[in-house]
């Protein structure tokens, strides 16, 4: 009897444990599958709406357009800089970032449905063929341009190297249109325009493509040779530069720094945090540097300005920058194009977030608008902080940030400085004539040590301690 009772109670206990384990596992499985179940319900909803649109819309819709619009809507809901790129848009983006393509070598615009030549680029097929500024292009290979968008016309003018195209041109002073046959060649977009302003080297960086760093070094070497021993310093003009490749911004910053952190990028997870480190060597050879910025300076431009400001290697002059402190990574989708996805935030060497705040200049110099533009400009210039759905800036410093040095700690009884509130952007007007460019003229006088007018000065931020190098080979594009 005792043995029978023992077996019975043992069986009962094991059955109870098995039942409890089963209930626990079922509960865990349900809990784990609940989020997926909700996701599948939402996908079913999308499928229902998609089918209803296809079957009931007043006109038969394009299925591809519907899908692309849905993808774009999903990405646009994240932030203003995430988006889907169709195969064509992806190819166009690659052309822009490479900085070279097969084409004619002319800058064009559209006026009254006609393509107008802004200027031919030196030493290109168009320049050698005699195309001139203000020429009007009416036909491409005997086909009218009227009815095409500017993008469509440009796409027709680009093409494989060594292939011909015939432009029909109307030129002021000539009675009849005439044809010009041009053979396409490699066109390299020079991202740096440079000139000597007396004893000052002036370099205008228009974008950060794959050629920017090489173009900048080449232009600096040429100006150092042209100006000679009387060279006083360099002006790096980043006004209205919308940004570009992250590795190029790092390389340009490194040209003026011997050591220290250049930029920190912090992603979703702490292990994704990376720092870029400057290497020994100053292309400017220790000469004073001024960086010009305004409300059109964004992304990669802000990385350069922030790095040189925090290390006190340059004086930043102008107005507050745009405030786009986020990294967009291009993720190819094979034959289906690519997505541009925001994957990280930028931080300056002193661990200040650029996002929705921008870079404040050391010396504020406002550019006065001409009379014809006064009253037409918006009261409050647009910046990242004013974009609908923009990524919020972070008030706290990154978790991996190094502790402040003792000299940077607030004194007893003093309050630590708060992070600036979200406010970015400023005027982006730059006059074409250098003599009317107030910010440029101020920078020239500043480098020459001449007396300048009254301005608003702001102290630069102390740089942080040196940081370990990051992997600069990652292909990211701040846009």
Query: Which residues carry out catalysis?
Result: 299, 310, 324
Q: How do strand 338-347 and strand 326-332 relate by DSSP bridges?
A: antiparallel
CA dist list (Å): 4 to 14, 25, 237: 15, 32, 94
Helix (H, G, I), strand (E, B) or coil at 98: helix
What's the farthest any 2 CA atoms get from each other in the chain?
Answer: 124
CA separation for the pair 159, 101 (Å, rounded): 8
Q: Supply the Cα-derived Rg of the chain in whole angstroms.
A: 29
| b/e map 305-334, b = 16+ CB within 10 Å | bbbbbbbebbbbbbbbbbbbbbbbbbeeee
Q: How many CB atoms lie within 10 A of CB 32?
A: 9
CA separation for the pair 243, 340 (Å, rounded): 15
Name the DSSP class of 422: S
Which ranges of 104-245 would DSSP assign to H, the alpha helix?
125-128, 150-157, 212-227
CA dist list (Å): 89 to 85, 86, 224: 5, 5, 40
Instruction: Find all residues with CB under 8 Å of 330, minimum gap 6, and list them.
Output: 85, 90, 93, 338, 339, 340, 475, 476, 477
Q: Are 187 and 168 in contact (CB under 8 A)?
A: no
Helix (H, G, I), strand (E, B) or coil at 456: strand
Stretch (H or E) spanning 194: strand 192-197
Beta strands in 62-191, from DSSP E residues, in sequence order = 83-85, 100-103, 106-111, 114-120, 136-140, 143-144, 164-170, 178-183, 185-188
CA dist list (Å): 464 to 106, 409, 461: 45, 12, 9
CA separation for the pair 131, 129 (Å, rounded): 6
CA separation for the pair 305, 313 (Å, rounded): 10
Q: Is 368 left (phi over 0), alpha (psi -120 to 50) or beta?
A: beta
């Amino acid at each position: 009897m005792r043995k029978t009772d023992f077996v019975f109670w043992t069986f009962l206990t094991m059955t109870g444990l098995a039942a409890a384990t089963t209930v626990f596992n079922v509960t865990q499985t349900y809990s784990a599958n609940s989020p997926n179940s909700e996701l599948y319900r939402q996908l079913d909803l999308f499928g229902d709406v998609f089918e209803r649109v296809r079957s009931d819309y007043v006109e038969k819709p394009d299925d591809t357009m519907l899908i692309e619009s849905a993808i774009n809507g999903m990405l646009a809901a994240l932030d203003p800089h995430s988006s889907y790129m169709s195969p064509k848009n992806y190819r166009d983006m690659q052309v822009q970032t490479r900085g070279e393509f097969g084409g004619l070598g002319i800058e064009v615009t559209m006026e009254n449905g006609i393509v107008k030549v802004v200027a031919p680029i030196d030493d290109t097929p168009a320049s050698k063929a005699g195309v001139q500024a203000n020429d009007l292009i009416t036909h491409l290979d005997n086909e009218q341009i009227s009815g095409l968008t500017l993008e469509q016309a440009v796409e027709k003018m680009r093409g494989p190297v060594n292939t011909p195209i015939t432009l029909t041109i109307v030129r002021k002073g000539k009675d009849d249109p005439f044809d010009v046959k041009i053979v396409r060649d490699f066109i390299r977009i020079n991202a740096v325009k440079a000139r000597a302003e007396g004893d000052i080297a002036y370099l205008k960086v228009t974008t950060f493509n794959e050629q920017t760093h090489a173009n900048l070094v080449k232009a600096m070497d040429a100006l150092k040779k042209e100006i000679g021993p009387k060279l006083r310093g360099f002006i790096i003009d980043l006004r209205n530069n919308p940004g570009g490749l992250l590795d190029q911004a790092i390389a340009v910053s490194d040209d003026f720094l011997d050591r220290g952190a250049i930029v920190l990028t912090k992603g979703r997870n702490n292990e994704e945090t990376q720092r870029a480190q400057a290497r020994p060597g100053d292309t400017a050879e220790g000469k004073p540097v001024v960086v010009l910025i305004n409300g059109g300076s964004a992304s990669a431009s802000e990385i350069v300005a922030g790095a040189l400001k925090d290390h006190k290697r340059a004086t930043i002059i102008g107005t507050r920058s745009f405030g786009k402190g986020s990294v967009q990574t291009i993720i190819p989708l094979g034959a289906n194009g690519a997505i541009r996805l925001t994957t990280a935030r930028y931080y300056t060497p002193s661990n200040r977030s650029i996002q929705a705040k921008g870079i404040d200049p050391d010396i504020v110099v406002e550019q006065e608008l001409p009379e014809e533009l006064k009253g037409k400009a918006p009261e409050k210039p647009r910046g990242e902080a004013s974009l609908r759905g923009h990524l919020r800036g972070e008030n706290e410093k990154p978790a991996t940030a190094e502790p402040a040095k003792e000299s940077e700690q607030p004194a007893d009884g003093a309050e630590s400085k708060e992070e600036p509130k979200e406010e970015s952007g400023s005027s982006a007007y730059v006059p074409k004539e250098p003599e009317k460019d107030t910010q440029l003229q101020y920078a020239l006088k500043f480098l020459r040590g001449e007396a300048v007018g009254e301005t608003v000065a702001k102290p630069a931020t102390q740089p942080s301690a040196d940081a370990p190098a990051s992997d600069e080979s990652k292909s990211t594009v701040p846009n």
